[in-house]
């Protein structure tokens, strides 16, 4: 069983609370980066430290595809870690809690 998650990764031309954002002119670069990205799950105590240090033990999957949809970048990721698959399928982890894509909906491919 493979768990697929899909949803809005980030809006274009909109800055977040850290004053970071991706302009539409950089959408192709963002898509290229996303298509080779891994999905990580970080601890609550240090929300993005596993991303910063690129911790391989926190990797739970890979981005399978990404595309521009209106003014947003959307991604689909394949969760390959069996424990992560189980926790997502059982509802222990709601997909908005994953580090990478936000506002996710979940599907199960088998």
Per-residue pLDDT of the chain (110 residues; tens, 9 = 90+): 678 888 888 999 999 888 889 999 999 999 999 998 888 887 777 777 777 777 777 788 999 999 999 999 999 999 998 888 888 888 887 655 444 433 333 444 43
Tally of structural domains, the chain:
1
* Structural domain boundaries enclosing 56: 2-109
Quick one: three-class SS letters along the chain? Answer: CEEEEEEEEEEECCCCCCCCCECHHHHHHHHHHHCCCEEECCCCCCCCHHHHCCCHHHEEEEEEEEEEECCEEEEEEEECCHHHHHHHHHCCCCHHHCCCCCCEEEEEEC
């Amino acid at each position: 069983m493979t768990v697929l998650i899909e949803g809005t990764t980030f809006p274009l031309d909109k800055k977040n609370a850290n004053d970071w954002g991706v302009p539409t002119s950089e959408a192709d670069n963002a898509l290229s980066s996303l298509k080779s990205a891994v999905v990580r799950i970080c601890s609550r105590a240090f929300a993005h430290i596993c991303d910063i240090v690129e911790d391989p033990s926190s990797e739970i999957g890979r981005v399978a595809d990404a595309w521009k949809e209106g003014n947003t970048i959307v991604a689909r990721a394949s969760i390959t870690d069996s424990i992560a698959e189980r926790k997502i399928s059982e509802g222990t982890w709601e997909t908005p809690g994953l580090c990478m894509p936000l506002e996710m909906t979940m599907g199960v491919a088998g």
